[in-house]
Amino acid sequence: MKIIIDEQSVAWYREELDLGDGDSIRFFPRYGGYSPIQSGFSLGISPEPAKEAKALTEKGGLSFFVEEDDLWYFDGHDLEVQFDEKKAEPAFYYHK
């Protein structure tokens, strides 16, 4: 699994979550909401250090990761995070 994230999303996370160089963002499944790949779940984020990261990318001084126990949610998909200009926030896309 790969995590792809654009520069605008990195800057948004840095500002909104008051993050500095070396900080990390975890992507994880949460119950409820909408996802095109897992019915009844949505993707959550949490600023926290990795424990058993199985997917990791570093960009703009930040690390973005998914823990091993959360890989089931992605069902073999890569995660792409792109800034949505209309909503003024990052949006999630899944690719096989």
The CA-atom distances, in angstroms, between 63 and each of 14, 73, 80 are 11, 20, 14
Going 17 to 21 to 27 to 30, the CA torsion angle's sign is: negative
Mean pLDDT by 10 residues, the chain (96 residues): 98 97 97 94 96 96 97 96 97 96
Q: Which fold has domain 3-95?
A: Hypothetical Protein Aq_1857; Chain: A; (2.60.300)
pLDDT of residue 53: 95
Q: And the tokens for 5?
A: 């994230």
pLDDT of residue 66: 98
- Angle at 10 (CA atoms; ends 89, 1), nearest 5 degrees: 100
pLDDT of residue 17: 97
- Angle at 73 (CA atoms; ends 63, 84), nearest 5 degrees: 60
pLDDT of residue 48: 97
For residue 42, give the nearest of 91, 9, 5 by alpha carbon. Answer: 91
Please state the pTM of the whole predicted model.
0.94
Domain boundaries, the chain: 3-95
